[in-house]
Amino acid sequence: MKESNPATEPIGHNLVNLISNRCFAVFAFSVLIFTVIAITYQPPDPWLESAPAMTKLFTQRENATFKNDISILRTGEDFLPVDNATATPAVAPALPNPTTDVLMEKSEVFFTNSTPKLGCDDFERVNCSDPRALLAVKKFNLRVFKSIVFLEYQTPVNGSKPDECDVSWRFRNKKENSWRKYRDFRRFKFGFDENCSYKVVHASGWHSGINARRSRGRGGNATRGVGPARVAPPIRDEEINDTIPSLGSEMNFRKGRYLYYSRGGDYCKGMNHYMWSFLCGLGEAMYLNRTFVMDLSICLSATYNPTANKDEEGKDFRYYFDFEHLKEVASIVEEGEFLRDWRKWDRGHKRKVPVRKVVSYKTTPMQLKKDRNAILWRQFDAPEPENYWYRVCEGQAAKYIQRPWHALWKSKRLMNIVTEISGKMDWDFDAVHVVRGEKAQNKELWPHLDYDTSPDMLLQKLKGMIQPWRNLYVATNEPFYNYFDKLRSQYKVHLLDDYKELWGSTSEWYNETKLLNDGRAVEFDGYMRVAVDTEVLYRAKKRVETFYNLTKDCKDGINTC
């Protein structure tokens, strides 16, 4: 038998073998690389993935601290999944709640077929309790207020004239993803279609249907009777429940497991720094399955108080954030309550509460995972920046601690002001964000900003972007109210200070925050102003930004675009 001679084998066969071997080697190497990535990859915080700018803000820091920044960081309700955002509570069966054109058409057919035909002359006045009157209001609202999700209506009541009804409903704005509900009540004037069905011929403005408003919740009744439509006095928001939870009995305290952070260098830093640190502590508590001991007292940085230029201590967390929501989604206890119960237990029992003091952030959450002490007490006594809370979540800990952004929402009281301002413009407005302040004076970093945001240039640029005589909301840190007067020649200009009554001494915000502050009046401070300004800006139909539309200067200075 002849042995095969490799030299005599076809060249094509050798080439195929060579290519096959190379391809297999590439495939094997790719599988190896993919396996390594899959094992070592730690997915980032999904809330931060929803806001790339947020990640950039907190990862690009110098010397483990933050630059002063008075921008508003988006909080948890801004990043809710769509399913949660659109979920609506059940509506009382007595009042249909159609939210689509299909349901509206079915309701209209039902009422048309089930109600005897009457001549238009048979109606001497509108019967506000007739379901067809409410149906007409719903159709009108869906057609006019397209940025609103209407959740539930109350039965209409008589207005001031025979052809008027006052109607109240609850709603949310489509640009706010939380489940929180707001309330409006308006006065509607009715007429009749050709088939003598009700139709709305006119709707008055925000909170004009004063006969449909609820009692004030403190013994005051709704204003009723005949009279011209007017804006009703403010109503207490009964849905806000930000009372401080109690631990209850001594045994409940002793059975608990707590994570307690002493005050560190984060105190009196910017609000973005505060949130980044606070959520680190709360995230560690969730990782350790412990109750987080929370200090409700906040020190507001001088950044938000340019006039006095000093830090302000003693601000309440509940002025800025939704404490009720936080209580619902996280295990927390207020620091004062916690320390009181701790001292009470130690005084009344020979066996003290077991405590472990953690003196360095370098002791990682993973090392504390199996600790059985009732209290883990992190102390931040080192010099800055070693005494920042968020240092706990750096390094390897970042793979285990997920900041619970979903737990931190903006204050409902501030959002009520945002809703009132938007509602007073009938949800139909455009907005321009005009950044000036110190940046406009810093020619080194922003050489063109002052000129590009001057009244003449603003008017010139806005003419090409916003239709004349639209409602135009100007969100700005420009301190001079009349600076934007030139815009009034083309637009209906609205500024935050046009709505001072919403936080003035007769407002519900003023009364409620005063109660939180032991009877002392609360200032509507710089951070609150920026928060409200920003949220109204987000609700505009068309938004014009400073560093994208008005100037070619970079947001963070020269060469940072």
- Domain-embedded: residue 458: yes
Q: What is the pLDDT of residue 213?
A: 87
Task: Tell me what pLDDT residue 80 has.
Answer: 65
What whole-number distance in Å separates Cα of residue 145 and Cα of residue 147?
6
- 402 and 421 share one domain: no
Edge-to-edge strands of the sheet including 492-495?
Answer: 492-495, 471-476, 430-434, 543-544
How far, in Å, CA of 397 to CA of 250, rounded? Answer: 33
Q: Are residues 107 and 185 in the same domain?
A: yes
Other C-beta atoms within 10 Å of 352: how many? 11
Query: What sign has the CA pseudo-torsion 299, 302, 303, 307?
Result: positive
Contact 545, 553 (CB under 8 A): no
* DSSP-derived secondary structure letter, 490: T
Which residues form the domain of 22? Answer: 12-40
Q: Is residue 207 situated within a structural domain?
A: yes
What is the pLDDT, as a whole number, of residue 107? Answer: 46
Measured N-to-C along each axis, helices 131-144 and 101-114 cross at an angle, to the nearest 10 degrees, of: 160
199 with 191: CB under 8 angstroms?
yes
Shared domain for 247 and 365, answered yes or no, is: yes
Structural domain contains residue 231: no
The answer to whether 209 and 180 have CB atoms below 8 angstroms apart is no
226 part of a folded domain: no
Same domain, 89 and 187: yes
Residues 298 and 202 in one domain: no
Is residue 340 in a domain? yes
Look at the chain and report how many structural domains it folds into: 4
Domain end among 191, 212, 233: 212
Burial of 401 (0-12, 13-18, 19+ CB in 10 A): buried
**Structure tokens, 231:** 């804006």
Mean pLDDT of successive 10-residue stretches along the chain, which has 561 residues: 51 68 73 61 41 45 46 73 42 37 46 49 76 95 94 94 95 87 95 86 94 61 41 62 79 88 95 95 98 96 85 95 94 94 88 94 96 96 94 96 95 96 96 93 93 96 95 95 96 97 96 94 95 95 94 89 84
**Those residues with Cβ within 8 angstroms of residue 550's Cβ, 6 or more apart along the chain or in another chain:** 432, 434, 452, 453, 457, 458, 461, 544
Q: Are residues 27 and 166 in the same domain?
A: no
Q: Is there a single domain that holds both residue 177 and residue 289?
A: no
Please check whether residue 101 is in contact with residue 138, taking contact to mean a CB–CB distance below 8 angstroms: no
pTM of whole model > 0.85?
no
